[in-house]
Amino acid sequence: MSETTQPKPVADERVKEMSSFRRALIRPELGGICGTIAVFTFFLLFAHDSGMFNSQGVLNWSTVSAQFMIIAVGACLLMIAGEFDLSVGSMIGFAGMMIAIFSVTLGWPVWLAIMVAFVLCLAIGALNGVIVVRTGLPSFIVTLATLFILRGFTIYFPQLLENKTIIGGIREKAEGDWLAPLFGGKVLTGFFQFLGEHDLIATFERGSRQGEPVVDGIPMLIVWAIFLIVFGHVLLTKTKFGNWIFASGGDAQAARYVGVPVNRVKILMFTFTAFCAAVFATCQVMEFGSAGADRGLLKEFEAIIAVVIGGALLTGGYGSVLGAALGALIFGVVQQGLFFAGVESSLFRVFLGVILLLAVILNTYIRRIITGER
C-alpha cells in the first residue's frame, strides 16, 4: 500500500511577509525605549557626579515625570481613539482653582471640594465628547474653545471672589481631612525611615531633622501615575473595550459596522482625560498648598508630545500607554537633568520641538510600513 504524501502549503502571494526588523519597528514603544536609553546614557555621562542619581535627585525627576505621565495616559487613550483634547492644561488650572475656592473661600470641607471639582471636570470632559460626536466638528476646534473658556473662568472667579489670582491656605484646610492624603500624602514612609537608620540612603546631617532620611516617602503623585499607567495598559491590551478604542481611532465607520459603540467610546475617553487632569490638579494643589490661575499652562501640548514620542500615530488607531509613559519619563529626566548638567533651562523647549519633529517623522515612517504606502 503506497503512502500518500501531503502537498506542501503554498504561500499566499497576497500576504506580504514582514521581516523581524520591520516587526520590531512597528512596536509603539520603540521610540520611547530608544529615547529613554539615549537620555539616561547622556546624563549618566555628563551629570553623574551632580547628585542627579542620588535619592533626592531620583525623587526630583521621578516626581516631574509622574506629572507628565498622569496626563499622558489620558491623552494617549484619547489619541488612539482618534481625538485630541487641547483643554487639558486649562482643566488642570480650573480644577485646582475650584478646589481652592470651595474649600478656602466658601469654607467647604476639603473632601467635598475635591469631589465637586472632579464631578465638574468629568462633566466638562463628557460635554466635549458629546459636542464632538454629535456635531462632527474636529475635536481640535471644540477643545480649543474649551481651553479658552476654562482659562477665562479660572482667572475670573478668584478675581471676583478674592480680588487675586492665587488662593493659598489649602494645606491648612486639609489637615485632618480623610480624602486629602490620597492626593497629597506619602507612602512607604516607614521603609524609608528604616533605610535612613541603616545608612542606605542619605540623611540630614544637621538641624532639627538631623538623622532623618532626605527622602522620607513616595509622593502620592507617583503612586497615581503608576496606577493610571497600569490601568490604562490593561484596559488597552487586555479588554474588549481596548479593542474598541483601537477600532474607533483606526476606522470609525468600519467599527460601527461590526457593532462597536464608537460614540460612547470617544465620550468616555474625553471623560477619562478630564479625570486624569483632575487627578494632576488635586495632587498639585495639595503639594503647593495653593491654586494659581496660570497652573497647567501648555500641559496639553506636553501631554501630546509625550504620547507621540511614545509611538502613537496622530491619525489614531495605534499607540501604547507604556510608550506614552516612557515619553513622559524622558520629559522629566531631561527637564531636571539640564539643571544638574548646568545647561540653560530654556533649552528644554528646544528639546521638546526637536524630539517632537523626530517622533512625527519616525511615526510617519511606521504608518507607511503598517499600511504598505510608499
Count of CB atoms situated within 10 Å of the CB of 86: 21
Sole residue written with cell 498648598: 289
Residues 6+ apart with CB under 8 A from 268: 129
> What domains lie within the chain, and their CATH numbers?
54-184+241-371 (1.10.3470)
Q: For the chain, how many helices (H) and strands (E)?
A: 16, 4
CA distances from 292 to 131, 174, 260, 285, 289 (A): 29, 17, 41, 9, 10
pTM of this prediction exceeds 0.95: no
Predicted local distance difference test score (pLDDT) of residue 307: 92
Residue 67 to residue 142: CA distance in whole angstroms = 25
Residue 341 to residue 343: CA distance in whole angstroms = 6
| Helix-strand-coil split of the chain, %, nearest 5 | 70, 5, 30
Return per-residue pLDDT of the chain as tens, 374 residues: 445 555 555 555 544 555 565 565 567 777 788 888 888 888 888 877 777 888 888 899 999 999 999 999 999 999 999 999 999 999 999 999 999 999 999 999 999 999 999 999 999 999 999 999 999 999 999 999 999 999 999 999 999 999 999 999 999 999 999 999 999 989 988 888 888 888 878 888 776 777 788 888 899 999 999 999 999 999 999 999 999 999 999 999 999 999 999 999 999 999 999 999 999 999 999 999 999 999 998 899 889 989 988 888 888 888 899 999 999 998 888 888 888 777 777 777 787 788 778 777 777 776 676 656 55
Query: Helix, strand or coil for residue 2?
Result: coil
Predicted local distance difference test score (pLDDT) of residue 1: 47
For 258-273, write each residue's pLDDT tens digit.
999 999 999 999 999 9
Predicted local distance difference test score (pLDDT) of residue 283: 96
Residue 32 to residue 29: CA distance in whole angstroms = 5
109 φ, ψ to 5°? -60, 145
Specify whether the CB–CB gap between 228 and 279 falls below 8 A: yes
Specify whether the CB–CB gap between 132 and 83 falls below 8 A: yes
372 φ, ψ to 5°? 80, 15
Residues 6+ apart with CB under 8 A from 263: 133
Q: Is 199 exposed, middle or buried (0-12, 13-18, 19+ CB in 10 A)?
A: exposed
**CA dihedral in degrees (337, 341, 342, 347; nearest 10)?**
-50
Residue 76 to residue 312: CA distance in whole angstroms = 7
Residue 108 to residue 279: CA distance in whole angstroms = 19
Residue 32 to residue 230: CA distance in whole angstroms = 17
